[in-house]
Amino acid sequence: MLKTKTMESIKNRRTIRKYQTTDVADELLNDLLETSFRASTVGNMQVYSVIVTRDVEMKEKLSPAHYNQPMVKQAPVVLTFCADFRRFSQWCVQRNAEPGYENFQSFMNAAVDTLLVAQTFCTLAEDKGLGICYLGTTTYNPQPIIDALQLPRLVFPVTTITLGYPAEIPDQVDRLPFQGLIHQEHYHDYTPDELDQLYAYKESLPQNMKFIQENKKETLAQVFTDVRYTKKDNEATSVNLLNALRAQGFLD
């Protein structure tokens, strides 16, 4: 089997939520970002921007939007990766071209660009011994982030990453078996027996069995649907997301 340092780094990756006080040097951070900007894009427009936050007061402003997760304040660097069609649109106008990017498709294109860059950055950072944590809360509470970072029209936060040198070596989180995620030639729907096999390991983990007991549920699936990611919460955050997208010009 082909093995490289990067492949081994990815296979052994862990989400880091506790960081050393050691700072991340500007030279290293800038090199990682510049290299990540070689990631693939939709149409070679590079419709993304990255907001680098080191200032303590700025982290304080961002923290509530991320449900006050401690790593936002504790990490040396917080990076907000944004879909950005503003820069490209301004360039078009300046070159006598009429931009038509105030729509959802353009947001999707920019979001794809943004996530490609973000994941490339994370892979490079971990290869250099840094730890990262993705914050899914970015799209749950986009408006406070937009306000704190003063994001103009056609700029939208897609994901946030905390960055620093790890102060912990947590266990790896479980992943579904490779065979259950691959479909040859076309999508093959799952039989009940296949689903049982696919989720058997996840359901057997002691920490997941503990979650079931603590939440007084019958199955792990109910922990997800009734506690962690409820329909009510998903609908509420969807409204927040759509309202913020409209305010930023992507749903005109």
Confidence check: pLDDT of 4 > 90: no
- pLDDT for the residue 1: 56
Q: What is the DSSP string of the chain?
A: ----HHHHHHHT------B-SPPPPHHHHHHHHHHHTTS--STT---EEEEEE--HHHHHHHGGGGTT-HHHHHSSEEEEEEEE-HHHHHHHHHTT------SHHHHHHHHHHHHHHHHHHHHHHHHTT-EEEEEGGGGTSHHHHHHHHT--TTEEEEEEEEEE-BS--PPPPP---GGGT--SSS--PPPHHHHHHHHHHHHH-HHHHHHHHHTT-SSHHHHIIIIIS-HHHHHHHHHHHHHHHHHTTTT-
- pLDDT for the residue 62: 98
Mean pLDDT of 22-50: 98
- pLDDT for the residue 7: 87
Q: Provide the mean pLDDT of the chain.
A: 96
Confidence check: pLDDT of 3 > 90: no
Residues 162-210: tens digit of each pLDDT: 999 999 999 999 999 999 999 999 999 999 999 999 999 999 999 999 9
Confidence check: pLDDT of 211 > 70: yes
The answer to whether domain 5-171 has CATH 3.10.100.10 is: no
Domain spans, the chain: 5-171
Mean pLDDT of 37-58: 98
Of the chain, the percentage scoring pLDDT greater than 70 comes to 99
Residues 66-89: tens digit of each pLDDT: 999 999 999 999 999 999 999 999
2 — pLDDT class (breaks 50, 70, 90): low
- pLDDT for the residue 42: 96
- Please state whether the predicted TM-score (pTM) of the whole model is above 0.85: yes
- pLDDT for the residue 178: 95
